[in-house]
Amino acid sequence: KAFRVVLTGTDATLPSTHPDGKITPDGGGEYVVPSYKIGAGNYVYAASKLCQYYLVFHTVAKLSGRADDLADETWQYAQKLRSYVFGRGGDGAYRPETASIQREELDDMSRRAIELSDRLSGGVSLRIATGISICYTPLHAVPWTHAAMKRDSPRGDIIEQIVKRLKNAISIDRAADCHFPLFIE
């Protein structure tokens, strides 16, 4: 039976070496637009999202009757990432001295996920919606607001969140638009 799987991607899973964007306005000068990618502050989040990808890849490989080596590979990646994420508890930062998955390895897992999504897309219709950095939704607003209210300066905390986290944000409409081309074949 034919089936279609679309994963919501995030630029947070791009390798840490992914280049920043650059824009040159008509008035001259060049400005760097920082890319959202694997970094020290979102390390465990990126690992958890890659784990989700590999779990779905594994399921698609099994359901579509793909080679056992592909199912084994995706399962091994998923289990290693899952163990790492659960082992970090609530600490989302990259701590190279204790990380069981070092940055270079997570970058390699990111690159491999891109290769596997292309490989698994043939005949199965597996796609990852790309171009999504941070989609600001109520899921983000509620915990950030609760955290801000516990601070000495709630307004300062909210401004920090906006500057730090939302500099690359896109709207919910834009995030939905990233998915629609994947339904047309």
The radius of gyration of the chain's CA atoms, rounded to the nearest angstrom, is 18
Q: Which residue has the higher pLDDT, 120 or 132?
A: 120
| DSSP, res 151 | S
pLDDT band at 102 (very low <50, low <70, confident <90, very high): very high
Q: Which residues of 85-104 are buried (b: 16+ CB within 10 A; e: fewer)?
A: beebeeebebeeeebebebe
pLDDT surpassing 90 at residue 44: yes
Contact 42, 8 (CB under 8 A): no
pTM of the model: 0.74
pLDDT at 77: 96
Helix (H, G, I), strand (E, B) or coil at 66: coil
Minimum mean pLDDT among 58-67, 88-97, 136-145: which range? 136-145
pLDDT surpassing 70 at residue 20: yes
Mean pLDDT of 146-175: 72
